[in-house]
Structure 1
Amino acid sequence: MTAEGARFRATGSRASSSGTFRALGRAGLAARGVIYIIVGALAVQIAFGKGGKEADRQGALQTVASTPGGTVLLWLLAIGLAGMAIWRFSEAIWGQAVPEGDKATKRLSSLARGVFYAVVCASTVAFATGSGGPGSSDKKSKDWTGKAMHDLPAGRWIVLIAGLGVVAIGIGIAVAALRTKFEKKLNTHQMSPGVRKAVRTVGVIGKSTRALVYAAAGAFIVYAAVKFDPGKAKGVDGTLRQFAHTGAGPWLLVLVAAGLIVFGVYSFCEARWRRV
């Protein structure tokens, strides 16, 4: 690395670890927690036949909007999500605050997450201003699957590979969660032994549950490709509802919903102790 490059890296590292970037990242993690807690609560309502909203991001935003001061809360969520995107982009430029955080794979991971949260932020702003919204996760999944299948060369195989990729990512996240690898990203030295044990438990349950939902959604995309039927694809809402149609009945959905709520709680733990 040249002297100029080293100076740029050092300047960037100081900037990315500044109070502003830390505040943005923590605000984003808290916003993520709010959304997952609401999605989990909506899924519980669906399990007991009381759900009128989709158990996905659109349903969460609708729920927030219907509360007193909902518009203000939506803007606060949008600000938090913007903070998440900016923080992830800073990691893509200067590296993550973890061992070997400057590796290309970690930078690309941060870049992808930055793009994702930028899109989520934009859709939240659109919802807050009344000019649109994120749209149903099921509809988006079916639309994307259908467009890819019918408009792209070898589209069916592209959808199949994409679905397998989502399944693989979900399994990978679950395995990493069960091995408690997420603790490397936390300032565990700031926790008491009891708090660390509680955060570890919440992290394993929450992250594993979210991984399960993603893997199941990926499996439905694979199924849609095999059947050559975009209607078989499901988003988060459709995937969660499917859990209620298993042999375990609505109680499996209740367990999964509780896991998503736990992940929301873990997001607040990250907002407090994440190395940002």
Structure 2
Amino acid sequence: MNARVMARTGRSRARRAANGSAAEGAARAGLTARGVIYLLVGILALQIGFGTGSRQADRGGALAELSDKPFGAMLLWALGVGLVGMALWRLSEALFGATGKDGHTAKKRLPAAARCVFYAFVAYSVLAFAAGTGGGGSSDRQSRDVTARVLEMPAGRWLVGAAGVAVVVAGVVIGVQALRRSYHKKLKLGALSPRTRRLVDVCGVGGGAARGLVFAAAGAFAVRAAVDYEADKAKGLDDTLRSFAETPLGPWLLICVAAGLMLFGGFSFALARWRRV
């Protein structure tokens, strides 16, 4: 009897170890894929800021840019698979809890479920683009189309406005957490040399602040679309980034934000290497 119990216990531990290894691999592949997308979007936005860009600074533009590279098709499939890994990792967090003392609470599981849905959609769009069946559409057009459909619904204006406010709040939270370096709790800091830690902090703070600013600006445009009852006032990632060049600071603000998105790409690579999973 004891032998059977010990055998079952051993098998259970082996399954948990295997599941943990699978989740870790999926997480690191997904974070790497996210880093590639942010890095490419940042490069495209930087080109727009300097007046040399011809592609949209969004996911569609990033995929098109990647497809033009040597072995582009292979890279696209690898990117899509990595994002599938990200979605599966977030799904495991939603179902079984995340790392940390409060990882099993609803406060952690619900955001993980939302991220799972988001990355599943992103992975599908990337794989569809790789397969040549779509997925590389303009984020601006998609944003306007979705906003227009929601505005036609009962209480649609309130739904769009609430979603916009939620995105603004998310952007502020992202920026504040980056400035406070809250990501330190997720990193294996002991594995970082002082120089590497400083570099990670530059990427984490600068990249997180830029990402939060982009989220907040996109949410503000959604709120404006709801207030004015005009779907065209909503902006996708490309139009949101271009709007920074229309401020009194001109293209330089766009250039700074673009550099920040590139830093966030680098920060995602750092997370893929040193994040606790």
TM-score range, shorter chain: over 0.9
1:117-196 to 2 correspondences below 5 Å: 117-150=119-152, 152-196=153-197
Aligned residue for 2:100? 98
Q: Which amino acid aligns with 2:54?
A: G
Picking from 58, 79, 92, the partner of 2:60 is 58
Distance (Å, rounded) in 1 between the aligned partners of 2:147 and 2:253: 27
Query: What letter is aligned with 1:109?
Result: P
Q: Which residue of structure 2 aligns with residue 233 of structure 1?
A: 234
Q: Distance in 1 between matches of 2:13 and 2:125?
A: 34
**Separation in structure 2 between the aligned mates of residue 154 and residue 115 of structure 1, nearest angstrom:** 24
Bigger drift between 201-210 and 191-200 goes to 191-200
Query: 2-side partners of 1:163 and 1:260: how far apart?
Result: 21
- Conserved in 2, the CA contact under 8 Å of 1:16 and 1:91? no
Does the 8 A contact of 2:61 with 2:136 survive in 1?
no
Give the Å deviation of 1:109: 1.0
**In structure 1, how many angstroms separate the alpha carbons of the residues matched to 2:19 and 2:235?**
37
RMSD across aligned positions (CA): 1.6
| Equivalent residues, number | 267
Q: Residue 25 of structure 1 aligns with which residue?
A: 27
Contact conserved, 1:202 with 1:263, CA < 8 A, in 2?
yes
Aligned to 1:199: 200
Match of 1:255 in 2: 256
Distance 2:208 2:101 in 1: 21
CA distance in 1, matches of 2:54, 2:17: 47
Q: Deviations over 1:174-229 (max 9, x none)?
A: 11111111111111111122222221221111111101000000000011111111
Q: In structure 1, the residue corresponding to 2:133 is in which secondary structure?
A: coil
Q: Residue 45 of structure 1: CA displacement?
A: 0.9
Is the alpha carbon distance of 1:10 and 1:114 closer, same or farther for their aligned partners in structure 2, counting shifts above 3 Å? farther
- The verdict on how the C-alpha distance between 1:186 and 1:16 changes in structure 2, with shifts beyond 3 A counting, is farther
When normalised by structure 1's length, the TM-score is 0.93
Deviation of 1:140 (Å): 1.1
Provide the secondary structure at the position in 2 that maps to 1:130: coil
Q: In 2, Cα distance between the equivalents of 1:11 and 1:106? A: 26
TM-score normalized by the length of structure 2: 0.92
Distance apart, 1:22 and its partner CA = 1.2
Distance 2:16 2:236 in 1: 38
Could you tell me which amino acid in structure 1 is paired with residue 259 of structure 2? A
Aligned-residue identity in percent: 52
Shift of the alpha carbon at 1:98?
Answer: 2.3
* Distance in 2 (alpha carbons) for counterparts of 1:50 and 1:12: 52
Specify the structure having the higher radius of gyration (Cα): 2
**C-alpha distance in structure 2 between counterparts of 1:206 and 1:120, whole Å:** 20
Q: Distance in 2 between matches of 1:48 and 1:195?
A: 30
Q: Distance in 1 between matches of 2:265 and 2:115?
A: 17
Q: Counterparts of 1:13 and 1:181 in 2: how far apart (Å)? A: 28
* Structure 2: segments with no counterpart, 5+ residues: 1-8
Runs of 4+ in 1 over 6 A off after TM superposition: 9-12
